[in-house]
Structure 1
Amino acid sequence: MRLALLGTGVALVATATGATAAQATDGGAGDIRIDKVVVNGGKPVVVGTTRVVSAKVSVTATDDSGIAKTTYISAFGPTPNFAQVWDDDITCVKKSATTSTCTGTLTFDPTAATGFVGNSAAGTWKLGTLVSANDYDYIHRDAATTFRVQRDTRLTTNAAPEPVKKGRTITVTGVLSRADWDTNKYAGYAKQKVTLQFRKKNSSTYTNVKTVTSSSTGTLKTTVKASQDGYFRYRFAGTSTAPAIAAAGDYVDVR
């Protein structure tokens, strides 16, 4: 199964010349300018294995005659991954006589039967756009901004035995996994540094205990000495292709 990366209502529709917007080059005419481009509120787009994820894109532009429309919003990542929204699905709202913000939505569907290469989609994407003004000035940029597409992560923690006598050994296990867009399942994330943390009973702050490396199957295991009541959890700092995550704390009663 491949990760389908589609614009709202369209996917890789060819232009009149037979090329896609992603194949355009930077250029324009007149004094129109793009002021700001934001993808997904400035956060990475995190995609799991089954749920369709939508990422809102806003393009703010200015021209002395006012903004007429945004013809396309196109996102292209590691080859051959691509997503696009055309003007029929882009809404422009005036902020002033000269400035408008145009918004569209890119859709990421990990369960679709058609689309592009799965796991290769994770990484840095470029966001391109074409904006025109009422006086026919226009501007197009292949990389008006960049954003990340990441494979969703999961993390568990289990501390045992519970309860335990003070001074005895506690074994803390867990599993770090991430979305596999080729199989639409979660798979162990191997050889990753994960931090074991501890929070005292009646405290709201976790402190670092030690660093543990996940196995080839994503499993985590380490031991500590029981000293006081509290919560253990694993925390993963994330990578460029997988988001940070902290597991729920597992309480240990020390007697």
Structure 2
Amino acid sequence: MRIRASAAVVTGALALSALAVPAAAKVSVPVTYTVTHPASLDPDTFATGPVLYRGAKITSPTGIQGGDDAGTCKAASSTVLNCTASIDIRPALDLFNSEAGTWKIGAVAVDEAEHPTWQGDLGSTKVQRLSKLTTSAKPKPVKKGKTVTVTGKLSRANWESGKYSGYSGQAVQLQFRKKGTTTYKTLKTVKTNSTGALKTTTKATVDGYYRFIFVGNTTTPAVNAAGDLVRVTK
């Protein structure tokens, strides 16, 4: 029996948060969704699963990502199934760096004869190159009013090399949090150089923590470096 496009329809909770994919390790993203089908259609005769795809149509994608296994479903009624599945991404095998950005969400239903029925345009999500950011502030300690030099590096996953590469030309904020408080304040914005490195200076006033933060973009998620404590002496 071939499943018609109207026979099993995937709806419901296919909204995904942005996926920050590392350089090499497999990412398995859990997804919940709902399948509606005619009461006369036996759920045991078809399998379903969510997919991510790029391109104008899910039936002719320029890229597609799905799960290794079909979804697991439980009947909520004679016509509704509540299902869970995973979308598996292996960056070194499945992705080019240029494919970072917005992907569309779709689904597939496959009958016993392995005939697929595709459904696209169920939403969208971002598949991003995981970012890393470091901060180091020196000297320690420093005299009040003297210069603190803050260095760091912004890098992101290179899916093609399986490593992390410096992210050049990006605006990064230098922030400071006074010791004993919980809120960081932005001191200035600096840009990464050709290797992703950061270097700037500021005047020491009180004991506190310095950190860089990157607000992110379509292809690369936001990231905050850990604060680095500098003590100030008189």
Q: TM-score, normalised by structure 1?
A: 0.76
Alignment of 1:111-130 (within 5 A): 111=92, 115-130=93-108
Q: Residue type of the partner of 2:72? A: T
Q: Residue type of the partner of 2:89? A: F
Distance in structure 2 (CA, Å) of the matches to 1:67 and 1:166: 76
Tell me what 1:135 maps to: none
Query: Unpaired runs of 5+ in structure 2?
Result: 56-60, 111-115
SS of residue paired to 1:144 = coil
Tell me what 1:62 maps to: 36
Given that 1:37 and 1:144 are in contact with CA atoms closer than 8 Å, whether structure 2 keeps it comes out as no
Structure 1 residues 89, 141: CA separation in 2 closer, same or farther (over 3 Å shift)? Answer: closer
Between 73-82 and 206-215, the greater mean CA deviation after superposition: 73-82
Structure 1 residues 99, 208: CA separation in 2 closer, same or farther (over 3 Å shift)? Answer: same
Query: Unpaired runs of 5+ in structure 1?
Result: 1-15, 17-26, 133-137
Tell me what 1:202 maps to: 180
Tell me what 1:52 maps to: 26
Distance in structure 2 (CA, Å) of the matches to 1:169 and 1:244: 28
Given that 2:176 and 2:187 are in contact with CA atoms closer than 8 Å, whether structure 1 keeps it comes out as yes
Q: Deviations over 1:156-195 (max 9, x none)?
A: 0011111000000111111000011111111110111111
SS of residue paired to 1:100 = strand
Alignment of 1:171-186 (within 5 A): 171-186=149-164
Distance in structure 2 (CA, Å) of the matches to 1:110 and 1:140: 24
Alignment of 1:70-81 (within 5 A): 70-77=47-54, 80-81=62-63
Q: Percent identity?
A: 40
Q: Could you tell me how far 1:239 is from its partner in structure 2?
A: 0.8
Q: Could you tell me how far 1:216 is from its partner in structure 2?
A: 1.1
Distance in structure 2 (CA, Å) of the matches to 1:219 and 1:63: 55
Tell me what 1:105 maps to: 86
Q: Could you tell me how far 1:73 is from its partner in structure 2?
A: 2.9
Tell me the number of residue pairs that the alignment of Structure 1 and Structure 2 aligns: 219
Distance in structure 2 (CA, Å) of the matches to 1:119 and 1:63: 38
SS of residue paired to 2:200 = strand
Q: Residue type of the partner of 1:92? A: C
4+ residue runs over 6 A deviation:
none
